Amino acid sequence: MGADGSWRKIKLWAGVTDAEWEDWRWQLAHRIRTKEELAELVQLTPEEEAGIDAAAGRLAMAITPYFAQLMDSQKPYCPIRRQAVPLVQETAIAPQDLVDPLGEENDSPVPGVVHRYPDRVLLLVTDNCAMYCRHCTRRRVVSSTEQCLTRGSFQKALEYIRSNRKIRDVLLSGGDPLLLPDEQLEEMITMLRDIPHVEFLRIGTRVPVTLPQRITPELVAMLKKVGPVFMSLHFNHPKEITRRSRRAIELLADAGIPLGSQTVLLKGINDRLYIMKKLMHELLKCRVRPYYIYHCDQAQGISHFRTSLSVGMNIMEKLRGFTSGYAVPHYVFDAPGGGGKIPVSPNYVVSQNKNVYVLRNYEGKIITYVDEQEQLPVAPVSTPAQVFNNKT
């Protein structure tokens, strides 16, 4: 398995038509959920079998046929497979692991709303995803009911946003908002758009990666109609950028929807410079701007995915100056307990003494800069009226 179109050779999907395969609802209805189904696709390892058994009551296993056919059936360390198939390591709880690593529940004034930063809120509209990524930071709630925010809860969320005039930015997330029907999503966006002080709407989604069939012309036309809407995608590895996912991205980009990508740094998946650089380049070629590399959160059961901060900083140091600036995202650590995103980057200021700065460039060369502006006296600024009077 691995190439686009290889599903036609897989016994599990014998007789499936092209029209069915391209139907996103068919993909959802036929997600791989059991060990028996998965065993028809890959040669399961003992760690995977135990992980699938233990996933019940935790973060469920659900893999779309599209994403499943990208897995390497013989290599358990395939980056696609590692993100989709539970491992027994998920049952291990590290001392620093937290149920709610980002402290979202403490910052939730009403159901579905997380209000941490002064001018923006996170609106969790569903706990359903096309596929449940094994590194999910919101695993405490995602997959539990596969339900969307109730109409009553959504109305309370709207009332909260309306009553806080500082809120200008709303991010729809979950789960994955694009699993909602077009009509429901359009209604939500329209109601948010009608709030005068809401200037900026975003959708966080992974369906272009795990379920690209969901990006239909009808969905794109609706988003264009109710826009502008920004979209934050979630690509973690170059193998996720296929012909089919490119087609989905093209539909969005051609409609004028601004696209950014947020990547999670994952041990054994993308923690090598050549992989991360390849991913950033492929995203740019698809008109997706790399935005964040997230340090893997301290959620329970995902410590086997976490690297040290130094790994991320080393990748950033080897990106900046060695490739296009557009291909260099921000590396951020989302502080436990709700501390917010903290940029983490190599230190390019070697030393500072009064107005003399010693800096290091991307090649490691040392540059001394004397900031003369710090030594200049501050001159009084003339008002336009004074300038006019002086001229007369």
Given the residues 75, 224, 289, 341, the one annotated as active site: 341
Whether 119 is catalytic: no
User: Which residues 6+ apart lie within 8 Å of 101 measured at CB?
Assistant: 137, 297, 298, 299, 334, 336
117, 169, 193, 357: the active-site residue = 117
Residue 334 a catalytic site member: yes
**Residue 357 β-bridge partners:** 352, 369
Verify whether residue 136 is a known catalytic residue.
yes
Which conformational region is residue 15 in: left (phi greater than 0), alpha (psi within -120 to 50 degrees), or beta?
left
225 catalytic per annotation = no
User: Which residue among 78, 132, 133, 148 is the active-site one?
Assistant: 133
The one catalytic residue among 120, 267, 289, 318: 120
Angle between helices 309-319 and 273-285 (to 10 degrees): 50
Structure tokens at 370: 């004397």
Residue 116 among the catalytic residues:
yes
296 flagged as catalytic: no
Angle at 181 between CA 226 and CA 170, to 5 degrees: 45
Which residue is catalytic, options 136, 148, 286, 296? 136
Other C-beta atoms closer than 10 Å to the C-beta of 367 total: 11
The whole-angstrom separation of Cα 97 and Cα 99 is 7
The CA distance from 161 to 197, in Å, is 9
Query: What's the CA gap between 392 and 386, in Å, rounded?
Result: 10
Residues 28 and 193: their CA atoms lie apart, in Å, by 29
Number of Cβ within 10 Å of residue 66's Cβ equals 26
**Catalytic hit among 78, 129, 286, 296:** 129
Under 8 Å CB-to-CB from 67, ≥6 apart: which residues?
80, 84, 130, 131, 209, 210, 211
Tell me which of 138, 140, 277, 306 is the catalytic residue: 138
- Alpha-carbon gap, residue 328 to 280, rounded angstroms: 7
- Please pick, among 33, 35, 116, 360, the residue that the annotation labels catalytic: 116
287 is catalytic: no
**Residue in 31, 202, 297, 331 annotated catalytic:** 297
Residue 280 CA to residue 237 CA, distance in Å, equals: 9
| C-alpha to C-alpha distances, 391 to 126, 384, 388, nearest whole angstrom | 65, 11, 5
- Give me the active site residues, please: 116-117, 120, 129, 133, 136, 138, 297, 334, 341
